[in-house]
Amino acid sequence: MTATKKTLKRELILKAASIIVQEEGVEKLTLEAVAKKAGVSKGGLLYHFPNKDELILGMVEQLSTSFITEFNERAENDTHSQGRWTRAYMNTSFSGDQDASDLFTALSAAQFTNPQMLKLLQDEYANIQNKIENDELDPVRSTIVRLAIDGLWFAEMFGLALPNEELKQKIIEELKTYIKENE
């Protein structure tokens, strides 16, 4: 199997796992269900992910890498240094990309099955928080913005009193204003 075919098959399997968790819940995430959803044999799935923990870890790694890459690119391309990391976090979080939703799904699966899997993401978040605290803004304000964004994510992920789309957009605009007031 070529590297490209291998990568595509791996991505297909990870996407299938994410769909199962989103649509049916973590408890329905089995290797058999993922293989069926991805249209691969169980042996084909096991070639890429020898067990369920490796599959979930693969979900977390792929999606967190994607998020971190986009976050860093947004900050590096921002021409205004003050608040660049906080803006990058906000814009990456609300880019409308399915990756954020998929990342929450992977996090949910990891937390449910093996909380130690979150270590990678905890380290990445510590790095993000450090950048946000040293963003030429008041670190309390920039951290409040990050926590508000995370709160919106988690409300969406767990269906916890999620604000309607209009209110969500007003909250996002207020967070942008909150950052600008400090510039």
- B/e letters for 38-65, b = 16+ CB within 10 Å, e = fewer, are bebeeeebeebbeebeebbbbbbebbbe
Predicted structure pTM score? 0.77
Q: What is the DSSP string of the chain?
A: --HHHHHHHHHHHHHHHHHHHHHH-GGG--HHHHHHHHT--HHHHHHH-SSHHHHHHHHHHHHHHHHHHHHHHHHHH-S--TTHHHHHHHHHHTS--HHHHHHHHHHHHHHHH-GGGGHHHHHHHHHHHHHHHTSSS-HHHHHHHHHHHHHHHHHHHHTSSPPPHHHHHHHHHHHHHHHHTT-
Q: How far is CA 41 from CA 37, 47, 58, 148, 177, in A?
A: 10, 10, 18, 42, 51
Q: In the chain, pLDDT over 90 holds for what percent of residues?
A: 40
148 contacts: CB under 8 Å, gap ≥ 6:
171, 175
Query: What domains can you pick out in the chain, each with its CATH number?
Result: 1-50 (1.10.10.60), 60-180 (1.10.357)
Does the pLDDT value for residue 97 go beyond 70? no
φ/ψ of 46, rounded to 5, equals -65, -25
Residues 1-60: tens digit of each pLDDT: 566 888 888 888 988 988 887 788 777 888 999 999 999 999 989 999 999 888 888 887
Are 19 and 37 in contact, with CB atoms under 8 Å apart? yes
pLDDT at site 56: 83
Calculate the CA dihedral of residues 89, 95, 101, 107 and round it to 10 degrees: -20
pLDDT at site 52: 86
Among candidates 45, 36, 34, which has minimal Cα distance to 9?
A: 45
Does the pLDDT value for residue 126 go beyond 90? yes
